[in-house]
Amino acid sequence: MSGFFDKLYSHTVAGLRPSPIREMFHLIRKPGIISFAGGMPDPEIFPVDLFYEAAGILKTQGRDVLQYGTTEGYPPLKEFLRTWTAPRMGRTVEDEEILITAGSSQVSDLLCWSLVDPGDLILIEDPSFLGVFLNMHNHGADFLTVPCDADGMMVDRIPELVESAQRQGRKVKLCYTIANFHNPLGCTLSLQRRKKLLEYAHRYGFAVLEDDPYGYVRFDGEHLPTLFSLDDQGVVVYGGSFSKILAPGTRVGWCAGNREIIRKMAVFKQGVDVCASLVAQALVYEYCRLGHLDGFLPRIVDHYRKKRDAMEAAMRRHLPLEEVSWVKPQGGFFCWAQTKSLDADTLFLKAVEKKVAFVPGKAFYPKQDGGQNALRLCFTFASAEQTEEGMSRLGQAMREMLPG
């Protein structure tokens, strides 16, 4: 029956782009591989016992939480989030301004359903999180890519990009940004640039998706105000997640924004999955109600701070510093390393031979036109011992590729 579906596929399938990270998993799952590739939390810090305690809600409210839920989200969890996020949001959002989602990735999907027609343009950091831009691509979006430096997206490039597109009769609908502890770069958008980005959004009439899964995982420095809190015209949709501050297996995220766009996203969600798992939402809520989110989160942050420091120390000990450079991230999960001359794809294959893995940089470029000499390293998953050994192996692979 091979080929049966060839004449049945949608037009979207023709341009479908799979995740290169998922595609490489068959290489990095070999026994003995030390992986800095997948952006996974450390299961050793999962609050298993505390979450098990939260499961008591199934005994007391099981008949309710095992039923279908409202598309907008489990009301007690929404109420908790309205209060808990107020310091970051700059105010307590209204009930109609918040939507519970199946992880933060669903926020971008629902927003694209609501805003993006095939051929519409999205401003996006270059590089960016491939999970989101692949989804946007599969919605038919094209990209206006904006380069980044240590202070995040170089937003002063935006006027020229938008005005050029408008002269061609094209619509710029959205700007996607990971303002805090960027994936993959690890950088943070400066306060000045946050204000500039909003100025341009208001001037040119595009929405902003502020994807903030790492915002609460800050190791150094002061928290910067969210774009949502700085926005006085309601153009920002803020996306948050429990994946990095509790556990990704919950698949519970949320977004906040203008009630009109939240309503449109909720209507699309009705057709996508009816509602996020009510059981998962109830368990997350009970975990939060018992005080465990605030009580345990500092331990998570401290745990990952130590892992970041262990990776950087190992990088300094084992990598050829005349060839490799990086910026120490102030939070999040990732370190972005740049080499002067090494091809990252070739280095990846040599590294896998030595049983260590990373993600080559070009996977994160929406137009697949950069990152040939870069690699993303996730510091949260491997143990300190694995990080030390993994960096030793990576350093050996690099030196074998250098002349002389």
Average pLDDT over residues 127-148: 95
Q: Is the pLDDT of residue 404 over 90?
A: no
Which amino acid, 300? I
Q: Where are the beta strands (DSSP E) in 279-379?
A: 324-326, 334-339, 356-357, 359-360, 374-378
- Mean pLDDT of all residues in 232-243: 97
The pLDDT value given to residue 43: 94
pLDDT given at position 77: 98
Six token digits for residue 262: 């939240």
Helices (H) and strands (E) in the chain, counts: 16, 14
Q: Do 17 and 61 have their domain in common?
A: no
Verify that 87 and 41 share a domain, yes or no.
Answer: no
User: What pLDDT shows up at residue 13?
Assistant: 82
Query: Looking at 292, 318, 353, which one is the last position of a domain?
Result: 292
Q: Measured over all CA atoms, what is the biggest interatomic distance in the chain, rounded to whole angstroms?
A: 70
CB crowding 119-135: b at 16 or more within 10 Å, else e: ebbbbbbbbbbbbbbbb
Percent of the chain, pLDDT > 70? 96
Same domain, 74 and 29: no
pLDDT of res. 324: 97
Q: Do residues 150 and 193 share a domain? A: yes
Look at the chain and report how many structural domains it folds into: 2
Of the candidates 292, 315, 334, which is a domain's last residue?
A: 292
281 and 383 housed in the same domain = no
Alpha-carbon dihedral sign for residues 71, 77, 82, 85: negative
| 368 — pLDDT class (breaks 50, 70, 90) | confident
Residue 26 has pLDDT above 70, yes or no: no
**Does residue 110 share a domain with residue 65?**
yes
- In 3-state terms the chain splits into helix, strand, coil percentages (rounded to 5) of 50, 15, 35
Q: Are residues 314 and 329 in the same domain?
A: yes
Residue 24 predicted with pLDDT over 80: no
Tell me the per-residue pLDDT of 315-333, one tens digit each, with 9 for 90 and over: 999 999 999 999 999 999 9
Identify whether residues 257 and 311 lie together within a single domain: no
Model confidence at 402: pLDDT above 70: yes
Average pLDDT of the residues in 292-314: 97
Contact 162, 155 (CB under 8 A): no
E strand segments, 273-395: 324-326, 334-339, 356-357, 359-360, 374-378
CATH number at residue 390: 3.90.1150.10
- Tell me the per-residue pLDDT of 55-111, one tens digit each, with 9 for 90 and over: 999 999 999 999 999 999 999 999 999 999 999 999 999 999 999 999 889 999 999
The verdict on 113 and 239 lying in the same domain is yes
- pLDDT exceeds 90 at position 372: yes
Kindly state whether residues 205 and 304 are assigned to the same domain.
no
CATH classification of the domain holding 125: 3.40.640.10
Beta-sheet pairing, 207-211 with 172-177 = parallel
Residue 25 has a pLDDT of: 64
Cα angle 260, 230, 212; round to 5 = 75
Q: What per-residue confidence (pLDDT) applies to 21?
A: 65
In this predicted structure, the answer to whether residue 22 has a pLDDT above a threshold of 70 is no
Instruction: Please give the full DSSP string across 92-122, using - where no structure is assigned.
Output: ---GGGEEEESSTHHHHHHHHHHHPPTT-EE
Average pLDDT over residues 359-382: 95
Q: Domain end: 292, 311, 338, which one?
A: 292
Q: Are residues 288 and 305 in the same domain?
A: no
Among all chains, which residue has been given the structure tokens 């009109």? 260
Q: How far apart are CA 285 and CA 82, in angstroms?
A: 12
Q: Do residue 72 and residue 204 come from a single domain?
A: yes
**pLDDT band at residue 27 under the 50/70/90 scheme:** low
- Contact between 122 and 143 under an 8 Å Cβ cutoff? The reply is yes
In the predicted model, what is the mean pLDDT of residues 285-312? 97
The CB-side HSE value for 255 (13 A sphere, CA atoms) comes to 32
Alpha-carbon radius of gyration of the chain: 21
Which two structure tokens, joined as six digits, stand for 307? 């892992």
What's the pLDDT tens digit per position in 29-63? 678 899 999 889 999 999 999 999 999 999 999 99
Domain boundaries, position 129: 48-292
Give the pLDDT of residue 9.
87
